[in-house]
């Protein structure tokens, strides 16, 4: 009997209202997104960079300049800074408000993954796929970072969903307009990185054109034009103020990214990075590709062709990072859900029980190892010298207990009638381990509190009163202003002053951050007030 036997037969009833799956998914992802340790601190790049630029936007009221210590940088588009600045306007400057746009976008992406799966596959696959996305480690970590990629992915999913809506005979132009506008808005977030997305949609737009006729939809082209208005307006205002520098830097930076592998990770980077960061779902997505190809579901050029083409394009792009593949993960989740749904059908029917049992016991074995390692770390912490080891121990125990659930269900309910009723619970056990691990990562501060030492130093005596009540300049000489420590110190300095490479241009008695190697150039009367990493806070004589 083939493995792909009738996944279409599994349906999940939405209850009395079609909103029920959306409410369930909102609770599933919302709990994790709302969990946070009381202690929060930013990553330096790119999170701290965008968060600080947005702070300067709010403080100066200048929504055109892309600043860094008073100098226009203009090395990328401005969308994420605008989103974070808008969040600051509503909720004040903090890590929480800087990360809020990404969290909202993550919730939206989960909802859109379900909506796309509903149109392309089955209600069961759609629901499991959206739930898997919310239990994907790297996706959920990025969902609580002040970076571009999760909002960009949500925009891309919105465009794809709008294309699916535009297939119907009603309001085709309106849905086409929405789909087209997401391209321009995505360009405002990440410039030409939307081009691979448009190219990946090529098989769906061209091969299935006789059915949907999107390329003849005037609303699509109007949306493309209107969606580009914010980007064109910002670039035009920037050029008017700073000449051609914004164009040269923005697109020159992108060209250099396309031509050189800055991280030196090699062409096979995504083949191991995606399975590692999104474990275990890419391992289920691989057979999902084969199952999907054999399945009777329509629009394969979209839900199957799109991620395969996009993966190929990202692999060919010279610069490879952990966050570029975030755009693939909603479709990885749907393909993994196709496999999980098929396994649920086999579990329910009693066929291929060796396969079902083998996977159940394998998952349980991993769970036992994780629980054992966690308990051992709690009982014998001296064996492993890791700061905050108890956090990792709780994480391992939570993940391990979650992955023991499928075995418990399999062992407890043995008759075919019982298996038919408990198959969803067996499937949910696959998600419970990663979901509990993600929840513990947030609750313990392993995610969210990335650089506590910098924030702590500037929010406690003796530095707290000084930086809170006085502008603090920065003397950059041996260490550049884009250094990671500099980014963090800048964000956590309440009143940044000016940047200079010559301390003599600063007023007598003023305060300044000076790189430790440059202290010898200062007068002997300079007062050293404290040090944070390689930067020393001084008061000039």
pLDDT tens for each residue of 359-415: 999 999 999 999 999 999 998 888 887 888 889 999 999 999 999 999 999 988 877
Return the number of other C-beta atoms located less than 10 Å from residue 310's C-beta: 21
Contacts of 78 (CB under 8 A, 6+ apart): 66, 188, 234
255 pLDDT band, cuts 50/70/90, is: low
What is the 3 state secondary structure string of 78-131? CHHHHHHHHHHHHHCCCHHHHHHHHHHHHHHHHHHHHHHHHHHCCHHHHHHHHH
pLDDT at 86: 98
Here the contacts of 45-49 (C-beta below 8 Å, separation 24 or greater) are 45/484, 45/487, 46/147, 46/148, 47/98, 47/145, 47/146, 47/147, 48/487, 48/488, 48/490, 48/491, 49/487
pLDDT at 6: 45
In angstroms, rounded to a whole number, what is the distance separating the alpha carbons of residues 316 and 254? Answer: 15
Percentage with pLDDT > 70 across the chain: 95
pLDDT at 227: 96
Cβ atoms 102, 139 nearer than 8 A: no
CA distances to 74, 181, 225, 240, 453 from 64, in Å: 10, 21, 21, 10, 33
pLDDT tens readout for residues 429-487: 999 999 999 999 999 999 999 999 999 999 999 999 999 999 999 998 877 788 899 99
In angstroms, rounded to a whole number, what is the distance separating the alpha carbons of residues 518 and 534? Answer: 10
In angstroms, rounded to a whole number, what is the distance separating the alpha carbons of residues 403 and 438? Answer: 14
pLDDT at 184: 95
pLDDT at 12: 42
Contacts of 219 (CB under 8 A, 6+ apart): 166, 172, 173, 174, 175, 176, 177, 180
In angstroms, rounded to a whole number, what is the distance separating the alpha carbons of residues 241 and 235? Answer: 10
Cβ atoms 317, 309 nearer than 8 A: no
11, pLDDT greater than 50: no
pLDDT at 13: 42
**Would you say how long the chain is, in residues?**
541
Cβ atoms 294, 192 nearer than 8 A: no
φ/ψ of 523, rounded to 5, equals -60, 155
| Per-domain residue ranges of the chain | 7-13+39-339, 352-443, 452-539
Helix (H) or strand (E) holding 304: none
Q: Which two tokens stand for residue 65?
A: 């300049």
Residue in this structure with the two tokens 């329910």, named with its chain if needed: 348
Q: Global pTM?
A: 0.92
In angstroms, rounded to a whole number, what is the distance separating the alpha carbons of residues 69 and 76? Answer: 16
Residue in this structure with the two tokens 């480690």, named with its chain if needed: 137
């Amino acid at each position: 009997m083939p493995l792909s036997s009738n996944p279409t037969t599994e349906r999940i009833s939405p209850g009395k209202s079609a909103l029920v799956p959306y409410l369930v998914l909102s609770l599933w992802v919302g709990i994790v997104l709302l969990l946070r340790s009381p202690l929060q601190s930013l990553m330096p790049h790119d999170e701290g960079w965008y968060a600080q630029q947005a702070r300067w936007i709010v403080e100066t009221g200048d929504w055109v300049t892309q600043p860094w210590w008073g100098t226009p940088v203009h090395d990328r588009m401005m969308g994420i800074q605008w989103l974070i600045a808008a969040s600051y306007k509503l909720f004040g400057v903090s890590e929480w408000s800087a990360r809020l746009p990404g969290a909202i976008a993550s919730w939206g992406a989960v909802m859109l993954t379900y909506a796309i799966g509903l149109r392309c596959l089955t209600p069961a696959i759609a629901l499991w796929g959206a739930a898997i996305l919310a239990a994907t480690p790297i996706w959920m970590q990025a969902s609580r970072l002040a970076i571009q990629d999760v909002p960009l992915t949500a925009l891309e999913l919105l465009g794809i969903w709008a294309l699916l809506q535009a297939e119907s005979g009603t309001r085709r132009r309106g849905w086409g307009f929405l789909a087209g506008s997401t391209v321009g808005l995505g360009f405002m977030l990440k410039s030409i990185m939307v081009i691979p997305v448009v190219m990946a949609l090529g098989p769906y737009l061209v091969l299935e054109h006789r059915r949907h006729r999107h390329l003849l939809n005037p609303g699509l082209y109007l949306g493309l034009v209107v969606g580009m208005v914010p980007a064109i307006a910002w670039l035009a205002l920037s050029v008017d103020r700073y000449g051609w520098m914004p164009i040269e830097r923005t697109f020159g930076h992108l060209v250099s990214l396309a031509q050189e592998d800055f991280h030196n990770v090699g062409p096979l980077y995504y083949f191991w990075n995606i399975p590692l960061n999104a474990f275990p779902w890419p391992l289920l997505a691989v057979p999902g590709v084969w199952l999907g190809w054999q399945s009777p579901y329509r629009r394969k050029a979209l839900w199957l062709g799109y991620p395969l083409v996009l993966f190929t394009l990202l692999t060919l792009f010279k610069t490879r990072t952990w966050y570029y593949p975030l755009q693939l993960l909603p479709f990885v989740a749907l393909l993994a859900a196709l496999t999980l749904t098929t396994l649920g059908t086999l579990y329910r029917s009693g066929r291929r029980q060796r396969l079902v049992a083998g996977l159940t016991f394998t998952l349980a074995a991993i769970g036992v190892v994780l629980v054992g390692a966690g308990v051992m770390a709690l009982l014998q912490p001296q064996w492993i010298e890791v700061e905050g080891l108890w956090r990792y121990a709780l994480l391992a125990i939570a993940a391990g207990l979650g992955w023991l659930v499928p075995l418990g269900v399999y062992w407890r309910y043995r008759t075919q009638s019982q298996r038919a009723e408990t198959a969803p619970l067996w499937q949910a056990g696959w998600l419970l381990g990663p979901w509990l691990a993600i929840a513990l990562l947030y609750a313990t501060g392993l995610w969210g509190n990335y650089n506590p030492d910098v924030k702590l130093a500037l929010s406690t005596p003796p530095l707290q009163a000084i930086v809170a009540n006085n502008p603090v300049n920065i003397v950059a000489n041996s260490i550049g202003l884009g250094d990671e420590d500099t980014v963090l110190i800048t964000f956590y300095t309440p009143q940044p002053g000016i940047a200079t490479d010559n301390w003599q241009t600063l007023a007598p008695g003023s305060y300044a951050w000076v790189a430790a190697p440059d202290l010898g150039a200062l007068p002997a009367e300079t007062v050293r007030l404290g040090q944070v990493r390689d930067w020393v806070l001084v008061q000039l004589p």
